[in-house]
Amino acid sequence: MSTIRILDENTINQIAAGEVVERPSAVVKELIENALDAGATAITAEIKEGGLSLIRITDNGTGIAKEDIPAAFMRHATSKIRSAEDLFNITSLGFRGEALSSIAAVSQVELITKEPSSLNGYRYIIEGGEEKSFEEIGCPSGTTIIVRNLFYNTPARRKFLKTAATEAGYVSELMERLMVSHPEVSIRFIVNNKVKLQSSGNNNIKDILYHIYGRDISKELLYVEYTSKDVKIKGYIGKPTISRGNRGFENYFINGRYIKNYIITKAIEDAYRPFMMQHKYPFTSLYYEITPSLLDVNVHPQKLELKLNNQDSIYDITHHLIKDALSGKELIPKVSLSDDNKKNTNKTEYITKLPEPFEKNRMDRLKVLETIANELKSNDNSVSPDSPSVQIKVMEQMDLFSEDLDADKVSFISEQSLINHRIIGQVFSTYWLVEYNKELYIIDQHAAHEKVLYERIMTAAGENKHSSQLLMPPIVLTLTLKEQQTVNDNKEILSKLGYEIEHFGGNEFSLRAVPADLYNLTDKDLFLEFLDELTQEVAAHKLSPESILEKTASMACKAAVKANHSFSTDEAAALIKELLSLENPYHCPHGRPVIISISQYELEKKFKRVL
Ligand code: ADP
Ligand code: MG
């Protein structure tokens, strides 16, 4: 008996729907892209129950001709390309002719459309891929598509969806991006009968960025522009001060499409790297116009990835554009760049060339410490003690050292040391020099501060005694819809940690209290970063009480770095005392060294007092 059969059209469409429209936001995306392709200048998107019960997209575009209506819902029916050759000159957003057939296969669709030139329009109903009615009606020019009860006939797919609120969050994020990517179109977004977002369509990118991201971000933006025959770029990039903990604000659009391209992402991040802390991502909103023949469009539409045929030049153009803008004088942070870097390389290389892994013998250790000491001393800032190779060596060395400390020396973290160490002072506004028991200890103030805050928060959280510090006046924040969602979803956790945040009206929220353990660190960036990280965790489905604590703790670290204020000797003394009473004061929570040391012996060797 034969068991192979050809699937019917509807089944094929349902399977395709799994790829093309896996959730409400994907449906909204396809429908809006169709509206944009139809030349609409005004689009309204409305959802109810996160788009599960209703999605309605209305546009003022070209409309669909009567005879094309049923065909539009057929698989591979498209008006946008006619043959494979057209693929190389594609300018529209969609061209596969899969969206409408896929959507109609898994929902109840109502289409109302009228071409501007015709007197009347048409209403077409198709449910689960089956035409239900087709009639003539009076309606305005343009197209409205209503999608009801998504996945009503494919319950297995419906099960994969998240709560209505979460799905609405995805749609919101998409709408924000669509608004940013199409400043020339007036877009309105309605959720459960309320207007959530609205853009004017006056082509003013900065207005839109202000509207969506708020004042704090829009006042820190730099305009950039580049033009050549095949590539045009314009848009805004954020000053390094508005960096974020994830790539959520690192956006660019190619020919009107929000897309990911490895080379462009890399060029952006490489250009920012010297200006930004590790694991920080910039704000960008860049608009690329690339000659279509240079794009490899034959990629899956949902994967949001695009290949470029002129990768190298796109990399160079992007990299230069951003680097040059960031190098504008007032932006250069106190990081020494160019000239000093050259001097750097030799020394750094020298260190890296040391045999690895280190033998645990005295000579090797001395060699490393000597190098480190040299570098710390060469007061020309040429080698940052933060440079990764130095850090790694110091850490390795510290591990060897702590073993030694326990064995044949009186430990720096003993009761004894707490009473008897002597603070000599601070160098380079960063390092505290401490003498104890024939050792010179060098403590990185920031790392120490991080470590101490981290331990305080972890301890307080462990003992469940977090308290809030009220902010007077409260800080007003503009949150994106996604961020608002995260706040709402995590209300309980946030308040447990000591955050008090209230809706203020519109996209504004007021931050009334912060965790007391963060003291004077009321910096709102800290809260925003925390929110970013939470949002990211939510997206990765890995939000657990532990991971939240972890996030809080790492925020504390960032707080310490940000605080960056000069400590008085008394404050430093208190900090060092607290540090030394910790179980492991040697490494900050990120693994960077907090304390390094140089023995009297090593110094003497250096001065050739001993051989
Ligand atoms: P594609 O966009 O890949 O061509 P779709 O399934 O999304 O495929 O749409 C099929 C066809 O229906 C489009 O090629 C277009 O001709 C027509 N169409 C869809 N939506 C609209 C709209 N909002 N306005 C005008 N025409 C539309
Ligand atoms: Mg389409």
Task: Note whether 388 and 432 are same-domain residues.
Answer: no
Same domain, 176 and 225: no
How close is the Cα of 98 to the center of ligand 2, in Å? 7
What's the count of helices (H) and strands (E) in the chain, helices before strands? 21, 22
Residue 1: band (very low, low, confident or very high) from pLDDT cuts 50, 70, 90: low
- By alpha-carbon position, which residue is closest to atom 23 of ligand 1? 35
Is residue 377 over pLDDT 50? no
Q: Is the pLDDT of residue 381 over 70?
A: no
Pick 283 or 604 by higher pLDDT: 283
Q: Which atom of ligand 1 is nearest to the CA of 98?
A: 6
In a domain? residue 105 = yes
Looking at 193, 228, 262, which one is the last position of a domain? Answer: 193
Per-residue tokens: 370? 């000597």
For residues 415 and 385, state if they share a domain: no
Residue nearest to atom 1 of ligand 1 (CA): 97
Atom of ligand 1 nearest to the CA of 92: 2
The last residue of a domain, from among 327, 359, 387: 327
The verdict on 462 and 596 lying in the same domain is yes
Let me know whether 384 and 454 are in one domain. no
Whether 155 and 222 map to the same domain: the answer is no
For residue 439, the model assigns a pLDDT of 84
Residue 115: count other Cβ atoms within 10 Å of its Cβ. 19
Report, as an integer, the average pLDDT of 214-241: 90
In this prediction, residues 119-138 reach a mean pLDDT of 94
Indicate if 289 and 423 belong to the same structural domain: no
Residues contacting residue 160 through CB under 8 Å, at least 6 positions apart: 22, 23
Pair (224, 187) in one structural domain: no
The more confidently predicted of residues 538 and 358 is 538
pLDDT tens for residues 255-308? 888 888 889 999 999 998 877 777 889 999 999 998 877 877 655 555 556 777
Q: Which ligand 1 atom is nearest residue 77's CA?
A: 10
**pLDDT value of position 16:** 67
Pair (139, 252) in one structural domain: no
Structure token pair of residue 154: 């494919």
In order of 12, 29, 98, 305, the CA distances from 299 in angstroms are 20, 17, 14, 7
- The Cβ-side half-sphere exposure at 563, using a 13 Å CA radius, reads 22
Task: Give pLDDT tens digits for 440-473.
Answer: 889 988 888 888 877 776 676 666 666 677 888 8
Number of domains in the chain: 4
152-198 pLDDT, tens per residue?
998 888 888 999 999 999 999 999 999 999 999 999 999 999 999 99
Which ligand sits closest to the CA of 72? 1
Report the predicted TM-score, pTM, of the whole model to 2 decimal places. Answer: 0.58
Ligand nearest to the CA of 116: 1
How far apart, in whole angstroms, are the C-alpha atoms of residue 67 and residue 95?
19
In a domain, 336, yes or no: no
pLDDT at 128 > cutoff 90:
yes
- Output the domain CATH number for residue 217: 3.30.230.10
Find the domain containing 388 and state its range.
351-401
Mean local confidence (pLDDT), 561-581? 80
Same domain, 609 and 500: yes
Q: Is residue 27 part of a domain?
A: yes
Please report, for the domain that includes residue 444, its CATH number.
3.30.1540.20
Per-residue confidence band for 409, with pLDDT thresholds at 50, 70 and 90: very low
Kindly state whether residues 303 and 373 are assigned to the same domain.
no
Is 334 among the domain residues? Answer: no
Whether the pLDDT of residue 401 is over 70: the answer is no
Q: For 27-62, what is each residue's pLDDT tens digit?
A: 999 999 999 989 999 999 999 999 999 999 999 999
Q: Is 20 inside a domain boundary?
A: yes
Amino acid residing at 515: P
For 20, list phi and psi in degrees, rounded to 5.
-80, -40
pLDDT of res. 408? 39
pLDDT, averaged across the chain:
77
Is residue 198 in a domain? Answer: no
Establish if 73 belongs to a structural domain: yes
Determine which helix (DSSP H) or strand (DSSP E) holds 433, and give its type and residue range. strand 431-436
Q: Is position 395 within any domain? A: yes
What percentage of the chain carries pLDDT values higher than 90?
32
Q: Are both 171 and 250 inside the same structural domain? A: no
- The dihedral sign for the CA sequence 153, 155, 156, 158: positive
Cα 209 to ligand 2 centre (Å): 26
Last residue of a domain, one of 193, 218, 250: 193
Kindly list the protein residues whose Cβ atom lies closer than 6 A to any atom of ligand 1: 30, 34-35, 38, 59, 61-64, 72, 77-80, 94-101, 143
Q: What letter would DSSP give residue 313?
A: H
d(CA 207, CA 195): 18
